[in-house]
């Protein structure tokens, strides 16, 4: 959906997010003139009322499940989905009430996992959600299962559509749905679409025709052709090999390209979305993990190992500017006007926030966030901005709220 974004001036006022004595809270004011964009993500259904500042209001801590790995808002921001890797479940939160509406719980089966500290396989379970992606106007939530060598689609619009009889030879996974506070329960089978060993990030084309999955231990990217009518709702049509461990994926629909962060190396693989073959390799710095794209041809990359984020020219891969972050920057998220970037920094227990200037990142705030923050997504309404951050070790989601003025 295309929306014209108005010119406006922007004043941001930030504070520490931990509750502390007044003398410990640092504040800084920054004037920003926003640039116009042709499009903004679907999470805003209408252009927001212009505002000049955001003022830190409060921090909320929501109980999640063990090992929450990533979070994702639906298009209108009414629901947030938390992928609970160790909890082997997906939580559906209501944004307004902060309550869990539904829990999608996978039935565990034995599998082989990976010890990332010791770099060796370990006994584990297959059904461990990692990342997710919506398609077909949020009707389908695609979830990667860490040790199942594939992804599963969950029909959110109508749970009965998950119960279609699987085709001969189609692998399935049982899912049990719990409704907290009630005795109601549902269950169904979801198809497991085999992609590769240790699937991670899932990204889609804007028209919901194609899905891309980065497969960590297979050193490749799976390309799926999707449909919303018939289970399993997608099939693998191509596999693109890469040179080392892949993770982040972003789709450039305008230029019909997809970018894959080669976290095991120092490059971005560029895939041609018409041939589904590698187009070019862009040399970047070491261990690119997550990538996002704005509407002006800029890629934003987190470099996990060296503790940096960078703005790149998407055509050449040239680094336009970069800055150091706290240790191990993981997920990055842009504000809806693409002028601010939120960065979860895993081992250092911080969420760093930067203003994106024409030629530099300017730090706005460093928000303490215990328990190893890893995933983040942004909710924006007419008067509020919220950063929802999942802490892996604590099994929590921390909501940092700002008022727009």
The predicted-structure confidence for 18-42, as pLDDT tens digits, reads as follows 333 332 333 333 323 333 333 334 3
Please indicate, yes or no, if residue 2 is contained in any of the structural domains.
Answer: no
Identify the CATH number of the domain in which residue 290 sits: 2.130.10.10
Residue 18 confidence (pLDDT): 30
Would you say the pTM of this structure is higher than 0.75?
A: yes
Report how far residue 401's alpha carbon sits from residue 80's, in angstroms, rounded to the nearest whole number: 15
Averaged pLDDT score across all residues of the chain: 88
On whether the CB atoms of residues 85 and 130 are closer than 8 A, the answer is: yes
On whether the CB atoms of residues 113 and 106 are closer than 8 A, the answer is: no
Number of domains in the chain: 1
Q: Give the range of the structural domain holding residue 22, as residue numbers without chain letter.
A: 9-404
Please indicate, yes or no, if residue 196 is contained in any of the structural domains.
Answer: yes
Please indicate, yes or no, if residue 44 is contained in any of the structural domains.
Answer: yes
Residue matched to tokens 């599998």: 111
Please indicate, yes or no, if residue 66 is contained in any of the structural domains.
Answer: yes
Residue matched to tokens 């998407």: 314
Question: First CA to last CA across the chain, in angstroms?
Answer: 26
Residue 88 has pLDDT above 80, yes or no: yes
Please indicate, yes or no, if residue 3 is contained in any of the structural domains.
Answer: no
Residue 52 confidence (pLDDT): 67
Please indicate, yes or no, if residue 334 is contained in any of the structural domains.
Answer: yes
The pLDDT tens digits for 240-292 are 999 999 999 999 999 999 999 999 999 999 999 999 999 999 999 999 999 99
Instruction: Please provide residue 136's backbone torsions phi and psi, each rounded to the nearest 5 degrees.
Output: 50, 55
Residue 99 has pLDDT above 50, yes or no: yes
CA angle 208, 214, 218 (to 5 degrees): 140
CA angle 198, 201, 207 (to 5 degrees): 135
Residue 8 has pLDDT above 60, yes or no: no
Please indicate, yes or no, if residue 47 is contained in any of the structural domains.
Answer: yes
Locate 272 and state its tokens: 């041609």
Using DSSP, state whether 199 is helix, strand or coil: strand
Please indicate, yes or no, if residue 202 is contained in any of the structural domains.
Answer: yes
Residue matched to tokens 């907290």: 180
């Amino acid at each position: 959906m295309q929306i014209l974004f108005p010119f406006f001036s922007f004043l941001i006022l930030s504070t520490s997010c931990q509750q502390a004595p007044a003398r410990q809270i640092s504040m800084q004011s920054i004037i920003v003139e926003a640039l116009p964009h042709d499009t903004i993500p679907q999470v805003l259904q209408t252009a927001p009322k212009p505002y000049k500042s955001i003022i830190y209001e409060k921090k909320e801590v929501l109980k999640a499940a063990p090992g929450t790995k990533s979070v994702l808002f639906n298009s209108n921001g009414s629901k947030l989905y938390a992928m609970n890797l160790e909890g082997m479940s997906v939580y559906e939160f209501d944004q307004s009430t902060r309550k869990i509406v539904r829990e999608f719980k996978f039935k565990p089966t034995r599998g082989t996992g990976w010890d990332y500290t010791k770099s060796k396989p370990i006994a584990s379970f297959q059904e461990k959600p990692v990342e997710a992606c919506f398609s077909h106007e949020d009707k389908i939530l695609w979830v990667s299962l860490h040790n199942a060598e594939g992804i599963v689609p969950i029909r959110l619009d109508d749970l009965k559509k998950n119960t279609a009889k699987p085709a001969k030879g189609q692998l399935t996974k049982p899912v049990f749905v719990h409704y907290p506070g009630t005795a109601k329960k549902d269950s169904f089978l979801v198809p497991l679409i085999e992609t590769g060993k240790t699937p991670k990030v899932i990204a889609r084309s804007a028209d919901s025709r194609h899905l891309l999955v980065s497969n960590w231990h297979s050193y490749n990217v799976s390309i799926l052709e999707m449909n919303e009518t018939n289970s399993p709702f997608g099939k693998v049509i191509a596999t693109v090999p890469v040179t080392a461990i892949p993770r982040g994926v972003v789709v450039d629909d305008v230029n019909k390209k997809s970018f894959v962060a080669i976290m095991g190396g120092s490059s971005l693989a560029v895939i041609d979305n018409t041939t589904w073959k590698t187009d070019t390799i862009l040399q970047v710095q070491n261990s690119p993990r997550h990538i996002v794209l704005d509407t002006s041809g800029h890629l934003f990359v987190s470099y996990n190992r060296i503790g940096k984020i960078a703005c790149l020219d998407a055509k050449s891969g040239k680094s336009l500017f970069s800055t150091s972050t706290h240790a191990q920057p993981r997920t990055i998220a842009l504000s809806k006007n693409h002028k601010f970037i939120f960065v979860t920094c895993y081992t250092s227990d911080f969420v760093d926030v930067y203003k994106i200037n024409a030629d530099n990142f300017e730090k706005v705030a460093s928000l303490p966030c215990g328990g190893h923050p890893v995933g983040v997504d942004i909710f924006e309404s007419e008067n509020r901005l919220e950063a929802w951050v999942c802490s892996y070790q604590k099994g929590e989601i921390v909501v940092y709220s700002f008022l727009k003025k």
